[in-house]
């Protein structure tokens, strides 16, 4: 009999619940919060309040769509961190209360592991495309930029990571700086498709090893735009497609240089991506192109599993549950997880 796992995700501004039967996805419901748009970023207090409103209907709908009742569940999995503490508290408290009321085991999940394990979600009627172990995962989101060597579903080694900003932050801050809106990644992605990626050039970092840095390229953009605006106040308006295309290409170059280096150093050609920035069309195209040239086997999760979702928490919960892990009801969320 299959293990039925309910996953709950509330680390930032999406309230989500999903059900898997072993690794097969039965439902995945996401309530995205629109209240933050006017503020140019997520307002933690508003996010917590919206989670509090959304969590019961979202979980009920996920169970309904899956055709599953509370008593059918094998376990309740939830995101313990990293993320916004107030947001995490809503999902954690709900998961604890739900598991307690049903007398079901509770399983905590690291959000970042969820992004990586999203590559293992199976969907009915679709052939699985599981990465073989060990594989390298480029984990790129609003809070992280890492190269992770994944040895097994629960054995992760961070072999490279950002020493300052995450790449998603660079996308978001660039968009804010140019007055384009929030969240910046999808906006820049869209505008970049219309622009020339060779129009402008931005400084790239020289960081040893497999680590990343994105604060310099962001500053390079800031100074460039500021200087050009002095000459022509309409510079951004006239060139936004080219600026976005050139900035995005620089970020992708930085990401790819280290990923290629990591593959060479480890001899691993099984390559996956995960996290919100893995939705970027330029990055996806580039990784496929480089992969063909370098004989990689590349794995790109579907768009709906790249940004925050509970399907990835349910699948990660499944692996933890299978390994016999159980989380006590005294567990508290954490905003940062230094290591896996």
Bridging pattern class, strands 4-9 and 270-274 = unpaired
Which residues are bridge partners to 150 per DSSP?
Answer: 135, 156
CB closer to ligand KG4, 21 vs 139: 139
Tell which one of 189, 255, 298, 318 touches ligand KG4 (CB under 6 A): 189
Tell which one of 86, 185, 197, 333 touches ligand KG4 (CB under 6 A): 185
CB closer to ligand KG4, 87 vs 307: 307
Bridging pattern class, strands 75-81 and 4-9 = parallel
| Contact between 65 and 21 (Cβ < 8 Å) | no
CB closer to ligand KG4, 134 vs 186: 186
**Which two three-digit tokens encode residue 259?**
């990923």
- Mapped onto helix, strand or coil, the DSSP state of residue 147 is strand
Tell which one of 105, 276, 317, 333 touches ligand KG4 (CB under 6 A): 276
Tell which one of 183, 197, 301, 333 touches ligand KG4 (CB under 6 A): 183
Measured from the Cβ of residue 197, the count of other Cβ atoms closer than 10 Å reads 18
Q: How far is the CB of 333 from ligand KG4 (least distance, A)?
A: 14
Interaction of residue 141 with ligand KG4, rule CB under 6 A: yes
Interaction of residue 279 with ligand KG4, rule CB under 6 A: yes
Interaction of residue 254 with ligand KG4, rule CB under 6 A: no
Tell which one of 142, 195, 197, 333 touches ligand KG4 (CB under 6 A): 142
Interaction of residue 12 with ligand KG4, rule CB under 6 A: yes
Tell which one of 165, 242, 270, 308 touches ligand KG4 (CB under 6 A): 308
Interaction of residue 280 with ligand KG4, rule CB under 6 A: yes
Burial class, 267, CB count within 10 angstroms (exposed 0-12 / middle 13-18 / buried 19+): exposed
Write down the H helix ranges in 155-266. 167-177, 184-192, 215-231, 235-266
Q: How many residues bind ligand KG4 (CB under 6 A)?
A: 19
CA distance 159 to 150: 10
CA 276 vs CA 24, 111, 167, 220: distances in Å: 22, 12, 10, 24
Tell which one of 20, 99, 145, 172 touches ligand KG4 (CB under 6 A): 172
Residues that bind ligand KG4 (CB under 6 A): 12, 141-143, 168, 171-172, 183-186, 189, 275-277, 279-280, 307-308
């Amino acid at each position: 009999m299959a293990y039925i796992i309910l996953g709950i995700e509330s680390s930032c501004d999406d309230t989500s619940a999903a059900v898997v039967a072993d690794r097969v996805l039965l439902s995945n419901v996401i309530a995205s919060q629109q209240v933050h748009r006017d503020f140019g970023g997520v307002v933690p207090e508003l996010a917590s309040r919206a989670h509090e409103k959304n969590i019961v209907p979202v979980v009920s709908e996920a169970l309904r769509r899956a055709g599953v009742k509370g008593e059918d569940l094998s376990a309740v999995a939830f995101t313990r961190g990293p993320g916004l503490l107030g947001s995490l508290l809503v999902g954690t408290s709900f998961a604890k209360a739900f598991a307690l009321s049903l007398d079901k085991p509770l399983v905590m999940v690291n959000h970042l592991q969820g992004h990586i394990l999203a590559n293992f979600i199976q969907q009915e009627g679709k052939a699985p495309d599981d990465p073989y172990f060990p594989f390298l995962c480029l984990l790129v989101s609003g809070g992280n930029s890492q190269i992770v060597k994944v040895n097994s579903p629960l054995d992760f080694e961070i072999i490279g990571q950002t020493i300052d900003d995450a790449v998603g932050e660079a996308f978001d801050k660039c968009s804010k700086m140019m007055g384009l809106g929030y969240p910046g990644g999808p906006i820049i992605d869209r505008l970049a498709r219309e622009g020339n990626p060779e129009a402008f050039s931005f400084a790239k970092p020289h960081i040893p090893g497999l680590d990343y840095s994105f604060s310099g390229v962001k500053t390079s953009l800031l100074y460039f735009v500021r200087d050009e605006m002095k000459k022509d106040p309409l510079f951004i308006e006239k060139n936004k497609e080219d600026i976005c295309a050139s900035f995005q290409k620089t970020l992708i170059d930085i990401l790819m240089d280290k990923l290629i280096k990591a593959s060479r150093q480890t001899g691993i050609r099984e390559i996956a991506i995960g996290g919100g920035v893995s939705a970027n069309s330029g990055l996806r195209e580039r990784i496929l192109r480089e992969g063909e040239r370098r004989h990689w086997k590349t794995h790109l999760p579907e768009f709906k599993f790249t940004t925050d979702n509970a399907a990835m928490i349910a699948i990660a919960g499944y692996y933890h549950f299978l390994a016999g892990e159980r989380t006590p009801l005294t567990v508290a969320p954490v905003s940062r997880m230094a290591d896996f």
